[in-house]
Chain A
């Protein structure tokens, strides 16, 4: 009985996010155009400049376009995760957040539901992109489209949890745009999305170290390996660990008794 109530709540949150997404059809187009521009223009242009040696999970030489597809898939999830948190800030501004937070169900459950909703939303975008990439000649094993699904769920949850944490600290939509620039672009560029880590190390060991602590790197690698029907346990473990840490911090931040806002207020009051 209680479980049914939780499931209804989860369903309601997912449906609302989907309705909002459907009402903003341009979001779907934008989410696809961004990685496609990278694939069709950037990758095609750099194909002859950037050679990629044989590195796992690839078993032969590959074209640069093939290398960056997992990174672009993760990019879609990164943007979707950040847009999900943007919707939390929007909800706070239009007042819907109060409705969510006054639900009798536990706040952690409401936040996890929101996170699942954002992750589910990213899946059709990712698969449509992969189908277009396939038409462009990027052909991972067909089974890979299935095996990559758990990786997409985990990486989507991790990136969504990061967005959720950020949204707890941002009071206005205007401020969020700045944070997007300071989070999305550094995360994307300082990762293995565009170049393998060994290549980055050749250019700058420091940059390689930064990439090695960037959670986005592990989301990309997890997706890359599972798209080719292999598992990278380091990436799997780190994506789960980063995701749990971000989610835990977000739940604390949204707790009225212990949240970031509460602590700031308490400090001011003291």
Chain B
């Protein structure tokens, strides 16, 4: 996925300014920024919930504005806020998503079974979403995002509100997807402890990209001893 010169204004305020970003195929890219950095707005533009008025977004060669159908078919999305119907069961929610992507019922059924099995929730398929814990809900949302076989997974603060153990499990699961299936992932977070030194990292603050590179080199680039200090200095300097 490549984003070039993306800007967005909302309520008279610049939410994103001239954002350039590349997520290569099969890579794990962390979009790191404090709350209010513009991460969710960027995700809304990437998923066409908002229309980009300035700049371009290409997903595996498909321009999102000109060819939204082909571009969106290659995307899987885990939204920051819950986006499953609480009155339906996990299986019904997943089948609904599969239908929205035009998947044949048999294929959808097989994939739902396989993905639920993979995340250890096969036995819970017929439980109503309302009764799921926060961690289980997130796993269901990841399963849903993967059902149609996307090449790029967008995760917007996918671990927000979860305990440390659930956060680690979900992050580890998504990293495994990159290794095992070659899916590209854009992982938005405000938690620096979710970043590994070898991760390609983009620091977004106040709608602007402040730094891009391997997380392990950020501290040295900024003349700081620790990653946390480098991140703090990047977001404080810009404030």
User: Which residues of A are at the interface with B, using a C-beta cutoff of 8 A?
Assistant: 4-6, 8-9, 11-13, 15-16, 19-20, 23-24, 91, 94-96, 98-106, 110, 256-257, 262, 265, 268-269
Question: What B residues does A99 contact at CB under 8 A?
Answer: 83-84, 96-97, 100, 144
Please name the 10 residue pairs, one residue from A and one from B, whose CB atoms are nearest each other, closest first. A12-B99, A5-B102, A95-B83, A103-B100, A104-B73, A257-B51, A104-B72, A256-B51, A104-B69, A269-B9
CB-based contact B72/A103 at 8 Å = yes
CB-based contact B49/A100 at 8 Å = no
Give A24 to B99 CA distance when docked, in angstroms: 22
Question: What B residues does A12 contact at CB under 8 A?
Answer: 95-96, 98-100
Question: What A residues does B31 contact at CB under 8 A?
Answer: none
Question: What A residues does B83 contact at CB under 8 A?
Answer: 94-96, 98-99
Interface 9-residue window, one of B17-25, B74-82, B231-239: B74-82
User: Which residues of B are at the interface with A, using a C-beta cutoff of 8 A?
Assistant: 9-12, 47-51, 68-73, 75, 77, 79, 81-88, 92, 95-105, 144
CB-based contact A102/B75 at 8 Å = yes
CB-based contact A104/B101 at 8 Å = yes
CB-based contact B88/A102 at 8 Å = no
CB-based contact A95/B72 at 8 Å = no
Give A225 to B56 CA distance when docked, in angstroms: 54
How near does chain B come to A151, taking the closest CB pair, in angstroms? 29
Give A104 to B68 CA distance when docked, in angstroms: 7
CB-based contact A262/B87 at 8 Å = no
Question: What A residues does B51 contact at CB under 8 A?
Answer: 256-257, 262
How near does chain A come to B216, taking the closest CB pair, in angstroms? 34
What 13 new A-B contacts, CB under 8 Å, besides A15-B96, A16-B85, A101-B48?
A: A4-B104, A11-B99, A12-B99, A15-B99, A16-B92, A23-B88, A95-B79, A96-B83, A98-B47, A99-B96, A102-B72, A105-B69, A106-B69
The CB with the most chain A CB atoms within 10 A, among B69, B92, B99, is that of B99
CB-based contact A96/B11 at 8 Å = no
Closest to B103 in A: A8
Closest to B105 in A: A8
CB-based contact A9/B11 at 8 Å = no
Closest to B95 in A: A12
CB-based contact B72/A16 at 8 Å = no
User: Per a CB cutoff under 8 Å, which of A4, A9, A94, A102 touches B77?
Assistant: A102
User: Per a CB cutoff under 8 Å, which of B10, B49, B70, B87 touches A104?
Assistant: B70
Contact (A94, B86) CB under 8 Å given A12-B95, A12-B100: yes
